[in-house]
Structure 1
Amino acid sequence: MRLSELSGKEIVDVKKAERLGVLGQTDLEINESTGQIQALLIPSSLKWFGFRKQGGEIRVPWQHIKKIGSDMIIIDVQEEEEVE
């Protein structure tokens, strides 16, 4: 899968069984020493379903992404990790 293919996919929270939005243009945070993807960085001007905003971006840690399908991304966020 290419990074450009993530755009337009719906994001669904597996625990709350609710649609959280549609993924727009996205960047990846990559660990330079291991080459592993650390997080999705999503441009946004608003707080986005409990994830931290960092300089106009929402950071979704890779471990919260459970499945990337043909039309949606399923995430699982632990409540104690959510930011109010």
Structure 2
Amino acid sequence: MRLSELSGKEIVDVARAERLGVLGQTDLEINEKGQITALIIPSLKWFGLKRQGHEIKVPWEHIKKIGSDMVIIDIVETQYEE
């Protein structure tokens, strides 16, 4: 799958039934082999205009399904960083 195919998909946490963001507005953590190891999702407020100060790091293995419109993830509370 190409990065351009991921862009624009909504990221949804299945455990919390919560929309976390959109791919393309996230950062990617990439290892020395060029593989994506994690998604880093910024927390935004005020309709995305002001950064709240913390982010969510989602290891690649916590991505459960990549569909045509969204990415389903399953993460634990300890991954919500401040």
Give the shorter-chain TM-score range: 0.5 to 0.7
**Which consecutive unaligned segments of at least 5 residues does structure 1 have?**
52-58
TM-score norm. by structure 2 comes to: 0.65
Q: Equivalent residue for 1:79?
A: 77
Are residue 8 (structure 1) and residue 1 (structure 2) matched? no
Give the count of matched residue pairs.
76
1:2-81 correspondence to structure 2 within 5 Å: 2-24=2-24, 28-32=28-32, 36-41=35-40, 46-47=51-52, 50-51=55-56, 59-81=57-79
Cα distance change, pair 60–12 in 1 and its aligned pair in 2 (3 A): same
CA contact (8 A) 2:20 2:41 kept: no
Give 1 or 2: higher strand fraction. 2
Gaps of 5+ in 2: 45-49
RMSD over aligned CA atoms reads 2.9
TM-score by length of 1: 0.64
Percent of pairs identical after alignment?
71
